[in-house]
Amino acid sequence: MIDFIQRWYVDPIIYGTGYNPVNTITYGIVLLASLAAVYTLLKKAKINIDRHFFVSLVPFILFGALLRSYEDFLEAGNVDLGIFTIASAEGPRNLLLVSPFMYMTVAAIALVSLAVAVASGRLARVPYYKILGGIGVVLATIVFTMVAPHVNDFFAAGVMLALAAAWLVALLAFRKFVAPRYGKLKNLLTKENTFIIGVHTFDASTTFTAIQFYPYFEQHFLPGFFISLFGPAVMFALKLAVVPAALYYIDKETKDGEKRTLLKLLVLILGLAPGTRNLFRLAMGV
């Protein structure tokens, strides 16, 4: 059992070899279980899981992604934070700031911030989501000021942002001129869903740039398999096939609006977090 854990869970973290079928399935189960636990907790706390809740958590996703990219910078610089740190192939690695523990760290910070926002909101008679979003913006801004001075590869940043912008324009044009002709497409491409799909094309843009122009590799084994066959551009096809299908299924099968919002938030996280991390990691040249 110890050898099994070492091979499939510990070694990928230490040696930076990415994900494998065993840890991917395990992390997926833990993620879904955590999502169910969070849903139960929010219901007991009588927090409405609505559009306001959704938007207020976006800054926390950016905060976590920026913090993860800063951890990449620290590892490249051989900086040891001195707590929860192990030796890895890329330098001293803080376990609280790498997957899968990173998601737990950010979730814990977000939950504490939510408790503070609800309590202070009741005292000040201000909607909790405004305070929660404000806390997230402050946290993200603090980490951004730590990351920004180290940005030096403007070619990488320019390519990633230009690709993402081009895909966003294409999505918006498709939504406006093509989707209205077809009922199912019109229903699928709501503003919310189009935004989430756009975020995933942003993630695909960062992955494409990293692999096409730099010596990076895809850490997730299934996309990595397709990239080995068709090249990094296949990421765009994968995103445009999988993400709309997932959103269509969520809209069709999830009758509970709050569960639907939470599931879409999860889909957003799986695109925005790695995309933002990739953007700033490449831009910092690490």
| pLDDT value for 82 | 83
Total number of domains constituting the chain: 2
pLDDT at 285: 93
Do 86 and 75 lie in a common domain? yes
pLDDT, position 245? 97
pLDDT of residue 147: 98
Kindly state whether residues 165 and 224 are assigned to the same domain.
Answer: yes
Is 179 found in the same domain as 40?
no
The secondary element (H helix, E strand) that includes residue 32 is helix 21-44
Q: What is the pLDDT of residue 4?
A: 87
Per the structure block, which two tokens stand in for 119?
Answer: 């309590």
pLDDT score recorded for residue 191: 94
Shared-domain flag, residues 8 and 130: yes
1 and 140 inside one domain: yes
Per-residue pLDDT of the chain (286 residues; tens, 9 = 90+): 888 888 898 888 888 788 989 998 999 999 889 999 999 999 999 999 999 999 999 999 999 999 999 999 999 999 988 888 888 888 899 999 998 889 999 999 999 999 999 999 999 999 999 999 999 999 999 999 999 999 999 999 999 999 999 999 999 999 999 999 988 899 999 999 999 999 999 999 999 999 999 999 888 889 999 999 999 999 999 999 999 999 999 999 998 999 999 999 999 999 999 999 999 999 999 9
Query: Which range marks the domain in which residue 40 is found?
Result: 1-150
Q: How far is CA 55 from CA 200, 216, 233, 254, 263, in A?
A: 17, 32, 30, 20, 14
Closest C-alpha among 216, 205, 271 to residue 72: 216
Do 128 and 39 fall into the same domain? yes
Which of 150, 170, 205 terminates a domain? The answer is: 150
21 with 220: CB under 8 angstroms? no
145 and 156 in one domain?
no
Are residues 124 and 42 part of one domain? yes
On whether both 190 and 271 belong to a single domain, the answer is yes
